[in-house]
Amino acid sequence: MQTVLIDTDVAIDFLRGEPYARDLLLPLWDLSRAYLSVLTIYELYAGMKEKERESTDHFIGACLIEPVSQEIAARGGEWRAFHREKSITLTAVDCLIASTALLQGHKIATRNVRHYPDKKLLLTLP
């Protein structure tokens, strides 16, 4: 089974009890194939309310964490420059998540498909 890098939107959907997210993530956890970028952790904490801390911490603890290495940072910068030349504006966070998936061999679980122009990196969601 493919390893999956969970984007922030899917993590939030899981934390809010969305059935598709639960159905996607529970089997991945059972097989140790669910990953989070440290940048997704940043985004989760930036948007959570204090009452959501415990469930967010449990969610993060159930995932394997991908750091941002020098190689990921360099590839993310190249990714952003490449798309900028095509007049496609991407955020730094999305470029770093994409480069993490590319270099580590993950698919990205996201509903924000416009954030990731290379559709080969994306996991098809229901």
Q: Where are the domains of the chain?
A: 4-67+104-121
Q: At residue 31, does pLDDT exceed 90?
A: no
Amino acid at 90: L
Q: Hey, which CATH number is domain 4-67+104-121, 3.40.50.150, 3.40.50.2300, 3.30.565.10, 3.40.50.1010?
A: 3.40.50.1010
Task: Identify the weakest region by mean pLDDT among 4-18, 24-38, 58-72.
Answer: 24-38
25 with 6: CB under 8 angstroms? yes
Q: At residue 35, does pLDDT exceed 80?
A: yes
What pLDDT, on a 0 to 100 scale, did the predictor assign at position 1?
64
Phi–psi pair at 32, nearest 5 degrees: 55, 50
11 with 37: CB under 8 angstroms? no
Phi–psi pair at 97, nearest 5 degrees: -65, -45
Amino acid at 36: L
> Model pTM?
0.93
User: How far is it, in rounded angstroms, from Cα 68 to Cα 102?
Assistant: 13
